[in-house]
Each structure stands twice: as structure tokens, then as C-alpha cells.
Structure 1
Amino acid sequence: MKTEEISNLIYAKILSVKDELSKNYIASKEGVGYFYIDNLLPEDLARQCFSVFPDKLEMRCLNSIREYKYVSAQMNKHNPLLEKVLYAFQDEKIIKLIGDICNIKSLYADESLYAGGLSLMAKDNFLHPHLDNSHDAERERWRVLNLLYYVTPEWNEDNGGHLELWPNGPKNEPTIIGSKFNRLVVMATHDTSWHSVNKVTVDSSRCCISNYYFSDNALKPTDKFHVTKYRGRPKDTFTNIVLDCDASLRMLLRKVFKKGVRKNPHIYKKDN
């Protein structure tokens, strides 16, 4: 299939439940605005995405006190279907439709896949509660939406690896959104949109195709520039102390080096 054909399928599915999705987003907007839609693509196509997903050994491993997962943005190293599906979400009509659902006027996809692309979480992988970096790589636009499309069949609740939203902050209880096969989750990113992924408990891979959307304007008047900020889970005092120091140090460096000490390697370096 061509990218345009896939984007037409996505658009039609989202449009068919637009009003319901808008109500869900508005109802959750005071905490972490979000909505999700199941059975996004035809099942055969979604299963194809999983069948050609790269092995974790073909991806970059991020392993620290903050997170443990595998990522890749270099899409030309992987099966072409994955790149087609990923960029289908960057079709202008889908961007506008999601913007209408979330009432965001200026909205842009990110062709460079800055922090987007593919992610895989295997046994014992996790992602601590965090706030995403507030801007794009050049600090010109605000990061406002995160799109997560899950493609692992038969991924159930006991497997872990599920998205957690913390609408009342990471000291309270999270809202868990399962990483269900063929499910698209769209969530807001701003200065209180704490989110995480709980630990994978099975010897299998939770696979995800992700995009970020950016805007000329922040979602909230309180939003200010910040680096990605992590903290521990409730009652994990030691991890909180370490991660607070880590975030403070990285913010200090960004005050001196406005665009970072080095280029973030997680972008799509396309062939000329």
C-alpha cells in the first residue's frame, strides 16, 4: 500500500468517531488531555506492521535510571511498511482533524522524527514518570501532542508495558491506558502532563509507532521551556532525589547551551 492509502484509512476511522473523541479529550483536558481509538487499521495491515518490526538488537538501547527501552528513528534501515504507516499520520488532513478534535489551531508534524519513530519494550523495560521536552530540536515550536500506535497482537493487561498518565501528578495514582493491539493513543504534552510506562513482565516485545505534533503556541499559559524531566514512582524517594538533580543539571546546561551540548541523535537522517 502507498502512504496516502494508509492515511486515508486512518482519516476515515478517526472521522467516524470524531465527536466521541473530542468529548473524551475535553473531559480529560484539565489533567492530561487524551483520547484513544481501537481497531485503527485493518487487522491484517496492523499485523503486518508487527511482523516486520525490527528486533531490539537492530535498535538503539536506552538504559539508565530514567528508562530502559529500544528506539529507532532511522526508518530507511527497516521495512518500508513501517515508514509508510508512520508518515501516514503526518498527512495534512489527519493533522487538521486531530487539531479539530483537540481544538489546537496551529499544528505541525515532524518530518525529522525528533524523539519519534519506533519504540520497543522487552522484558523488564520501563519508562519512569516524566514530562517530555517542551520544544522541537531548534526550540522554535512547542511540543503539544504525542501519538502512539501499538501493533503487538494479543498484548494483555498482565504483560505490563502500558501507558500511565498522572493527571494529579506523579505522587498520586495513574490512569492506565493499555497498549492494546491496533490502538492509537493521542495525549497532550505540557508542563503537567506526567506520563510513564510500567515494567514489561513477559518475555515478549511491546512495539509502538510514534509521532509528535508541534505548534506555534503552548497548550497552557503556564508552559515554559524545559528539558525532559523524570522522577521516580510514588514513595521511591531515592530515585526522586537522583532524578531531580539530573533534571536540574540538564536545565542548567541548556541555559548556557540553548540548543544543547550536542545534537540529539534520535532524528531521521535521510539520504540526500
Structure 2
Amino acid sequence: MQTITETAQRVQLFNYEHWNSQLPELSSEYQGASPYPHIVLENFLHPDVLQECVKEFDKLNEGDGWINYVHYNENKAGLNNNDLLPATIKKTIHELNSPEFLEFLSALTGIEGLMKDDLLEGGGIHQSKRGGYLNIHADFTVHPHHRNWQRRVNVLVYLNNDWEEEWGGKLELWDTKMQACERKVLPIFNRCVIFNTDADSYHGHPEPTTCPEDKHRRSIALYYYTQEAQPFRRATHYMVRPGEGSKKFMVKLDNAMVAIYTEIKGMLGSNDKIVSKVLRFFSRKK
């Protein structure tokens, strides 16, 4: 009997024939979506391969290369070191960065010239434990190590088997004026969310998860860029929701710290672990 690992090595990870045959409809849905271009796709990758990714995730030691993004506006961990990623997760990321997938993504989004990021800056794999959250924000707009790379598209693939709705963790998509949440997406296994990362593409999962202690909210997160002569430059920018006036000062302070760090990182190539420690210090009395 074949193991899941052996099966994962033989099957087609992303079914190009299936997804390309639907591109006209999917592209129209994506580009016409509100509050900004996006789409939610079910059964995105071959389930056997993704289950192997889950098994590999379970075996990872959080201390080995993980970056703890713990400050006022977020509480999660990430791993983007290619040398430390397990084989099937690495294979999955490689496929989603392949020329064939980039061609699919460009046709879906209508954005030509999309480029992968081999450094997996800010991406790779993410997980958050019980109580994890990510306040509503718009993503950083320029790659810190490629100053003419404009960030254009996010691809999130969720790895959460048997995720219960009452545990929360829904990805929220907010309108560009931060008046209302227009869509909530439960992070269930093999669901993919793809969306434009414009300066006002506000999103996040701001409510702390209530999953059991032995459960985690997990995803593969990949970001794509285009090369621009004069890209719009801004660090990750967090927002307060209506009714959260009491949080405004701390959110602004955290934004200022993130912006300073982003500039330093671009100039000096500093490590993401440094910013986590600095931001945690300034927000520990939140």
C-alpha cells in the first residue's frame, strides 16, 4: 500500500486543466468582486498532497527558524526559511511559484508580469494558536529587498482540517473606507483565497481564535509582485474598526514602529525576529 508521501510524489498538485477551463468565469468573478478584486476557491490543490503538508506541519518545532509576530496588531508565527521547510510544503510552494501557475494567476487577476518571491518575504507558512489574531490592515506595498517590486496579489491556502465555525479565525475583507466588513471566509482545509493587495485592500482576522489548545490556524501564504519604475511605498498599515476608538492610539503607535522597522530592514537587511521583539516591548501593556 502506498503511503501518503508516495502518493503526493505521483499526483498532480495543481490541476491546470481543471482550473484553466474555468478561467473566463473565474476571472470575471475575481475582477468584479467587492470590496476589491478577490476570489475564494474550494478544493484548490490535490488533497493527498495537502494532507501531507498538514502532517509535516504537525512535526515542525516552533523554535527552529520560526518568527513570532507578536505585537499590538497581531499574534501569530511564521516560517519562511526555505532550508527549514519540509519537503512537501516546499514542493507545494515551488508549484505555486512556477511559471505555469504565474500564468494562471495573471489570467485570473488580469495583472500582467506577475513575479514570484523566492525570499518568501512575510510569507511561507503561518500559524496561530488559541487567542491568535491579525488586526485589519493593508499589506506592505513594496518588497523590502527589491525596491521597484510592487506587491500585487496574495494567495492563501488553508490547512485546517475539521475547523469549527465557532472557533473564529475568519478572514475578513473590509470595504476601502473601513466602514463595514463585506465578506468573511472560514479558514477550512484546501480553501484558497486570492486577492489584490492595493493600498486600501483591508483584511485580517481581528477576533482572537477560540480553538482548543491543541489546534492551530494554519496556512501557506504567498505574495506576488510586478516591477514598477515608481512603486507606491508604504509599510503594513493597520486600521481600527468602527467602534474601536479606544484602540486608535496604540494602533497608530504600532504602525509607526512597523514603518520605521520596514525602512531599516530595507537598508540594512535586518532580521524579522528583531522587529518582533521590539514591537512586543512597545505593546506589552496593551
Interval containing the TM-score (normalised by the shorter chain): 0.7 to 0.9
The residue that corresponds to 2:280 in the other structure is none
The residue that corresponds to 1:73 in the other structure is 80
The farther-off stretch of 130-139 and 162-171 is: 162-171
Shift of 1:115: 0.8
The residue that corresponds to 2:148 in the other structure is 140
The alignment status of 1:82 with 2:93, answered yes or no, reads: no
Pairwise mapping of residues 1-272 of structure 1 onto structure 2 (< 5 A)?
Answer: 9-28=14-33, 31-53=35-57, 54-58=60-64, 59-137=66-144, 138-197=146-205, 198-203=207-212, 204-217=215-228, 224-248=232-256, 250-251=258-259, 259-260=266-267, 262-265=269-272
Task: Measure the CA separation in 2 of the matches of 1:5 and 1:107.
Answer: 28
Shift of 1:4: 9.7
Where does structure 1 lack aligned partners over 5 or more consecutive residues?
Answer: 267-272
CA deviations on 1:21-79 (whole Å, 9 max, x unpaired) are: 212212216x3210121112232222111111135454322111110001111132232
Q: Is the 8 A contact 1:128 1:233 kept in 2?
A: no
- Alpha-carbon distance change, 6 to 193 in structure 1, aligned in 2, over 3 angstroms: farther
The farther-off stretch of 133-142 and 15-24 is: 15-24
Which amino acid in the other structure matches residue 72 of structure 2? I
Q: Is the 8 A contact 2:8 2:49 kept in 1?
A: no
CA deviations on 1:182-232 (whole Å, 9 max, x unpaired) are: 1111111011101111421112111101110001249xx9x7311111123
Task: Measure the CA separation in 2 of the matches of 1:88 and 1:5.
Answer: 14
- Alpha-carbon distance change, 169 to 45 in structure 1, aligned in 2, over 3 angstroms: same
Find the residue that maps to 1:120 and give its secondary structure: strand
The farther-off stretch of 56-65 and 33-42 is: 56-65
- Alpha-carbon distance change, 254 to 123 in structure 1, aligned in 2, over 3 angstroms: closer
Give me the TM-score of the superposition, normalised by structure 1. 0.85
- Alpha-carbon distance change, 20 to 126 in structure 1, aligned in 2, over 3 angstroms: same
Equivalent pairs, count: 261
- Alpha-carbon distance change, 253 to 121 in structure 1, aligned in 2, over 3 angstroms: closer
Task: Measure the CA separation in 1 of the matches of 2:11 and 2:233.
Answer: 35
Runs ≥4 in structure 1, deviation > 6 angstroms? Answer: 1-7, 252-255
CA deviations on 1:100-140 (whole Å, 9 max, x unpaired) are: 11111121010111111000021000000111110112322
Task: Measure the CA separation in 2 of the matches of 1:114 and 1:130.
Answer: 17
Task: Measure the CA separation in 1 of the matches of 2:10 and 2:38.
Answer: 26
What is the Cα-based RMSD across aligned positions, in Å? 2.7
- Alpha-carbon distance change, 72 to 178 in structure 1, aligned in 2, over 3 angstroms: same
Shift of 1:247: 2.4
Task: Measure the CA separation in 1 of the matches of 2:142 and 2:9.
Answer: 28
Which amino acid in the other structure matches residue 235 of structure 1? G
Task: Measure the CA separation in 2 of the matches of 1:97 and 1:242.
Answer: 40
